[in-house]
Amino acid sequence: MVIEINPDALTIAGNLDAQRANGTVLGPLHGIPILIKNNIATADKMDNTAGSYALAGAKVPRDSTIAAKLRKAGAVILGKTNLSQWANYRSFNTSNGWSAIGGQTQGAYYPGQDPSGSSSGSGVSSSLGLALAALGTETDGSILSPSDVNNLVGIKPTVGLTARDLVVPISEHQDTVGPMARTVRDAAYVLAAIAGKSSYDNYTDAIPFDTIPDYVAACNFSALRGKRIGVPRNLIDLTSDPAAAPIVPVFNAALDILRAAGAIVIDNTNFTGYDALSEGNYSNIVLEADFISDLPKEYLSKLSYNPNNIHSVADVRNFTHDFPLEDWPERDTLIWDGALELGYGNTSPEFWSNYTMNTFLAGEMGITGALKNYSLDALVLPTEFSPNFPALIGAPVVTVPLGAYPPNTTVLLNQFGNLNATAPNMPFGISFMGPRFSEELLIGLAYAFEQRTMVRNTITPYIQPTTELADVVHARQRMKEL
């Protein structure tokens, strides 16, 4: 699940300990270990490969803004986590959590569990407590989904709240970076550290406030009181995933918890664009065109050292076909094939017509429309069904543990046939969704729900680390006292 350990982590931690001893504390994350997904670049001794040998040994001229903000906040970047290769944007016939460099990550709640993706290693490592939290990236579900099945809180921020420079991209219109942690408060601390404007990412210019909100202070037990929360019931589509049926009664019971906390729950605030969006191909075209343009422009061209001379999507595909450890053709490159066959990038008129339709169906006929038409503060769904609409308009989501599949659940394999996609004890979550830049509100709602339920503590992984971070800290303290 962890693809690489920072060889300087102990030295960095020692220096931060010395600063603290001298009275200098950089913030709440001072000396705290954080893992980051292996598509977020760091200008240190670690690689940033997106799980592919094509980028092995490549170097960046500086830290990504995200990594720089973590360091400024005093965090120790402990290492890089495995991921679904290229953030799940290579193959149709592959498995979540697999990359050529990192191998196959599995979840901790059932033998051979599908960890979901693409932030698979971030999900499993954070859930097991290998760090306070881990960073994931999301284009459409890649923070929310692994948080969902790994019993985690995941914050998928508004596109533009966190900078994406020197993060291996899929789509500039949908990509975002956010925390995955065991509690809402821990996730809020990390989001506070990484949010903010960056001269390297002009999407952050859209941030509507001069000072980042106090996301930790938003963790208020009474935050649900008086809030109008809608349920777009037509998105809970069991025809697309009948195995998710056990989630629905648990979700319905959660609505009663929201009501008891003072929320006004309005059911059937349905998204009128659901059928058209499901039947159309707009979102695939947007991602293909963005990827063709953004990978070379926003990442490959910025490399200070590029040993495999990878400059385009075509170069990536050719390398993958030629390098045996990339497991081609067992795991295909059909997503890249489709992007290359599209024939245009994200500056063409064809792109903009599809992008406009995407945002109309997901926005005015989806999230934005429902919020306005029903005078809602937020929307709520089982996390299984929540990622797509927010992804298409760059809106935020916070997922919180909700429950787990019952003991009599039938074990179902994933499409690739190597992991258990549904099984007893596999966790699932509930998502709070809102308008762009509403993270402060959503964190409050999620915290108020979390504190009333504490579901995470009721679901036990079948494997657990034998060493806890607290034990290491106490052991070091005892050594100093000797």
Query: With contact defined as beta carbons under 8 Å apart, do 168 and 119 qualify?
Result: no
142 assigned to active site: yes
Residues near 159 by beta carbon (within 8 Å), at least 6 away in sequence: 173, 174, 175, 176, 203, 394, 436
Bridge partners of 359? none
Give the SS3 label for residue 103: strand
Count other Cβ atoms within 10 Å, centred on residue 409. Answer: 16
69 assigned to active site: no
- How many whole angstroms separate alpha carbon 37 and alpha carbon 110? 23
Query: With contact defined as beta carbons under 8 Å apart, do 153 and 182 qualify?
Result: yes
Query: With contact defined as beta carbons under 8 Å apart, do 154 and 130 qualify?
Result: no
Specify the residue for token string 């893992």: 35
Which amino acid is it at 319?
A: F
353 assigned to active site: no
* DSSP type of residue 113: B
Specify the residue for token string 């592959």: 94
Q: Which of 126, 127, 142, 283 is catalytic?
A: 142
Q: Which of 37, 69, 156, 197 is catalytic?
A: 37
Residue 236: what are its φ and ψ, rounded to 5°?
-80, 80
Query: With contact defined as beta carbons under 8 Å apart, do 165 and 130 qualify?
Result: no
Taken in order 90, 91, 96, 100, is the CA torsion positive or negative? negative
Q: Which of 116, 118, 122, 125 is catalytic?
A: 118
DSSP 179-209: EEESSHHHHHHHHHHH-S-BTTBGGGGG---
Active site residues: 37, 118, 142
